[in-house]
């Protein structure tokens, strides 16, 4: 870490900061310039001493404290040095294959879910998505089918050979949702629900952590660190768009984050172009862009009749559009040295 002292600071102030750093276990090296003094401090584990380091910002004569190591450890790229592959009951996320996750925004009925599951499975999807517990901006909006929805998801997954991903919103529901889901989705609104993150950190079900809609990459990775430090290392991240000043799209899908994360973390990165754009006609183009830029998987909202969907119909694509999109995505995956499961021909 580097402590930049204010111009005109006193030797006593430099001494006080140096003393504190030594007590924290650092080897201290002050450099006295003509106008400024900086103190180099090496040897400490910054992420473990973050509160003590923050105190230094308030010390007399201190202008800035610059950390040179990352504030997260278990999710950092360097921690294992290569990409993590998460095995979801035989489906590997983070390997060569770009894993397709598809299904309705929310489970509405047996017929809606099973029709979708059957067709997306045939088209090459590996994982069935669908909300049973839905986070809604309005309390008057549909809140999901709950346990009934979970049961349908599990049954549909079993019947069509798909793994299941669904959202868990509350600490008290983690056990219940884990019984039915192969991947626990933490939604954007809960990315900084630290109690929930700790709770899923305690279980062994893989977790997909969506990016908070206003979260910086570092905040997102620190949220993942909560899960990893609890002992659950089967984490994937999901870029689902962030809030910007542009209202035309529901969110702004941050494609650069997908590329940037490759050098920051070993965790696989899934992309959700449905919440990411809010517009069905943009789902195909952004899916292609996401695969091109290195996404390890896609999470796409597919509905048999999007115009009648209870939730997120405007951003849901039809089953036919999904079937048409798959070979196009496969071609892009192949062009960037990845595979994408080819449709099962019947
Ligand atoms: C969803 O996947 O339907 C959803 C609600 O996602 P997000 O948390 O990204 O809004
Ligand atoms: Mn949705």
Closest residue (by CA) to atom 3 of ligand 1? 105
Q: Mean pLDDT highest for which of 37-46, 63-72, 268-277?
A: 268-277
Q: Taking residues 5-29, what's their average pLDDT?
A: 95
> Average pLDDT, whole number, for the chain?
96
Mutate to test the pocket of ligand 1, among 165, 240, 283, 299 (most ligand atoms within 8 A of CB): 240
Lowest-confidence pick of 82-86, 135-139, 153-157, 297-301: 135-139
Q: Tell me the pLDDT band of 92, cut-offs 50, 70 and 90.
A: very high
Question: Hey, is 192 helix, strand or coil?
Answer: coil
Assess whether pLDDT exceeds 60 at residue 346.
Answer: no
Assess whether pLDDT exceeds 90 at residue 344.
Answer: no
Closest residue (by CA) to atom 10 of ligand 1? 188
Q: Tell me the pLDDT band of 112, cut-offs 50, 70 and 90.
A: very high
| Residue partners of 253: CB distance under 8 A and separation at least 6 | 239, 240, 241, 271, 273, 276, 277, 286, 290
Atom of ligand 1 nearest to the CA of 129: 2
C-alpha torsion 75→339→257→137, nearest 10: -90
Q: Which residues on neighbouring strands pair with residue 312, listed in sequence order?
A: none
Which ligand places an atom closest to the C-alpha of 303?
A: 2
Number of Cβ atoms within 10 Å of the Cβ of 35? 6
Closest residue (by CA) to atom 9 of ligand 1? 188
Q: Taking residues 150-177, what's their average pLDDT?
A: 98
For residue 116, the CA-to-ligand 2 centroid distance in Å is 15
Q: In terms of pTM, does the model score above 0.75?
A: yes
pLDDT of residue 48: 78
Closest residue (by CA) to atom 4 of ligand 1? 187
Name the percent of the chain lying above pLDDT 90.
Answer: 92
pLDDT of residue 32: 93
Assess whether pLDDT exceeds 70 at residue 343.
Answer: no
pLDDT of residue 51: 86
pLDDT of residue 345: 54
Atom of ligand 1 nearest to the CA of 211: 9
Q: Which residues on neighbouring strands pair with residue 31, listed in sequence order?
A: 38
Q: What is the rounded CA–CA span in Å between residue 219 and residue 210?
A: 12
The model's pLDDT over 291-326, given as tens digits with 9 standing for 90+, comes to 999 999 999 999 999 999 999 999 999 999 999 999
Pocket of ligand 1 (CB under 6 A): 105, 131, 135, 187-188, 210, 240, 272, 275
Closest CA to 233 of 115, 116, 74, 98: 74
The model's pLDDT over 45-78, given as tens digits with 9 standing for 90+, comes to 777 788 888 999 999 999 999 988 888 999 999 9
3-state secondary structure 25-37: CCEEEEEECCCCE
pLDDT of residue 70: 87
Question: Hey, is 151 helix, strand or coil?
Answer: helix
pLDDT of residue 341: 82
pLDDT of residue 68: 85
């Amino acid at each position: 870490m580097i402590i930049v002292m204010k111009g005109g600071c006193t030797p006593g102030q430099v001494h006080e900061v140096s003393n504190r750093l030594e007590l924290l276990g650092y080897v201290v090296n002050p450099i006295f310039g003509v106008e400024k003094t900086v103190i180099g401090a090496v040897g400490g584990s910054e992420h473990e001493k973050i509160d003590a380091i923050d105190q230094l910002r308030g010390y007399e004569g201190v202008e800035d404290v610059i950390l040179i190591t990352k504030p997260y450890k278990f999710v950092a790229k360097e921690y294992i040095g290569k990409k993590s592959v998460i095995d979801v009951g035989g489906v590997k996320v983070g390997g060569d294959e770009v894993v397709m996750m598809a299904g309705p925004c929310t489970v509405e009925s047996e017929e809606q879910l099973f029709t979708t599951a059957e067709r997306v499975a045939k088209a090459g999807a590996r994982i069935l998505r669908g909300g049973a517990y839905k986070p809604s901006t309005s309390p008057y909006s549909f809140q999901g089918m709950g346990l009934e929805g979970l049961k349908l998801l599990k049954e549909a997954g079993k019947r069509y050979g798909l793994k299941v991903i669904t959202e868990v919103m509350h600490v008290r529901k983690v056990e219940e949702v884990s019984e039915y889901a192969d991947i626990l989705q933490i939604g954007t609104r809960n990315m900084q629900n630290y109690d929930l993150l700790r709770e899923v950190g305690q279980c062994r079900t893989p977790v997909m952590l969506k990016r908070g809609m206003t979260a910086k990459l570092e905040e997102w990775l620190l949220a993942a660190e909560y899960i990893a430090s609890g002992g659950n290392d089967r984490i994937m991240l999901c870029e689902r768009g962030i809030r910007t000043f542009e209202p035309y799209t529901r969110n702004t899908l941050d494609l650069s984050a997908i590329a940037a994360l490759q050098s920051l973390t070993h965790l696989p990165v899934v992309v959700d172009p449905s919440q990411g754009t809010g517009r069905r006609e943009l789902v195909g183009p952004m899916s292609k862009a996401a695969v091109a830029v290195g996404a390890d998987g896609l999470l796409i909202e597919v509905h048999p009749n999007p115009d009648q969907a209870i939730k997120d119909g405007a951003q849901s694509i039809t089953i036919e559009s999904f079937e048409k999109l798959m070979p196009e995505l496969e071609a892009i995956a192949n062009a960037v040295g990845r595979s994408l499961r080819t449709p099962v021909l019947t």
